[in-house]
């Protein structure tokens, strides 16, 4: 049985978390997005938006968490493990804001290789801002382009998930694995 580590990517507000919740409800092994945890933890310490105040520290914490998710996914007994965002997302966001970062960020993208990447397109009708998602829809579209280019640059073939109901999006993904 070949282990498959499958990542679901897309700009903010494209429906990633809803799809992950749906996959969990169907009994699939899934790992959630960790940036909200990092953001909420920083807010408890009085830092409203760690990504805005110290992007490199925030990104290092995300990188560490996503490497841990990848390593844990390798050990799962399940054939398929779905992850909400992958390691290259960290690089894409840093490129989006124009910040420099150490070489080990890029090396992690090369060392930890996912099986499949599903990308969710920007979808204004479902987009919502909240206390952890500060980007407007136009920024979300820009981030989407950085994500796309970053994953392509690391050699991934992106499978675009059509805009549809959560159930139909999940069926599309399951059909492609």
In eight-state DSSP terms, residue 76 is -
Residue 113 has a CB neighbour count (10 Å cut-off) of 13
Please give the pLDDT value at position 46. Answer: 87
Provide the pLDDT confidence category of residue 134 given band limits of 50, 70 and 90.
low
Please give the pLDDT value at position 39. Answer: 84
Calpha distance 19→82 (Å, rounded):
10
Domains of the chain: 4-172 (3.40.50.300)
Instruction: Give the CA count within 13 Å in the CB-facing half-sphere of 125.
Output: 3
Q: What is the mean pLDDT of the chain?
A: 91
Predicted confidence (pLDDT) per residue in 35-72, tens digit: 878 888 888 888 887 877 888 988 999 999 999 999 99
Show contacts of 74-78: CB within 8 Å, 24+ apart.
74/3, 74/5, 76/3, 76/29, 78/28, 78/29
Query: Would you say residue 117 has pLDDT above 70?
Result: yes
Angle between helices 166-176 and 16-25 (to 10 degrees): 70
Write down the residue that tokens 């999940």 correspond to: 170
Task: Work out the average pLDDT over 100-126.
Answer: 94
Per-residue tokens: 8: 């679901």
Q: What are residue 167's DSSP bridge partners?
A: none
Please give the pLDDT value at position 10. Answer: 94
């Amino acid at each position: 049985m070949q282990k498959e580590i499958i990542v679901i990517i897309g700009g903010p507000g494209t429906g990633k978390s809803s799809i992950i919740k749906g996959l969990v409800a169907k009994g699939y092994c899934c790992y959630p997005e960790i940036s909200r945890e990092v953001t909420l933890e920083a807010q408890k310490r009085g830092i409203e938006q760690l990504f805005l105040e110290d992007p490199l520290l925030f990104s290092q914490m995300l990188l560490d968490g996503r490497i841990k998710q990848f390593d844990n996914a390798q050990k799962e007994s399940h054939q398929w493990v779905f992850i909400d965002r992958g390691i290259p997302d960290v690089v894409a966001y840093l490129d989006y804001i124009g910040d420099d970062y150490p070489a080990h960020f890029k090396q992690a993208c090369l060392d930890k290789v996912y099986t499949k990447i599903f990308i969710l397109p920007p979808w204004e009708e479902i987009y919502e801002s909240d206390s952890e998602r500060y980007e407007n829809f136009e920024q979300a579209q820009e981030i989407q382009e950085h994500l796309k280019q970053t994953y392509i640059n690391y050699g991934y073939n992106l499978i675009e998930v059509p805009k549809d109901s959560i159930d139909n999006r999940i069926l599309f993904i399951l059909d492609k694995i």
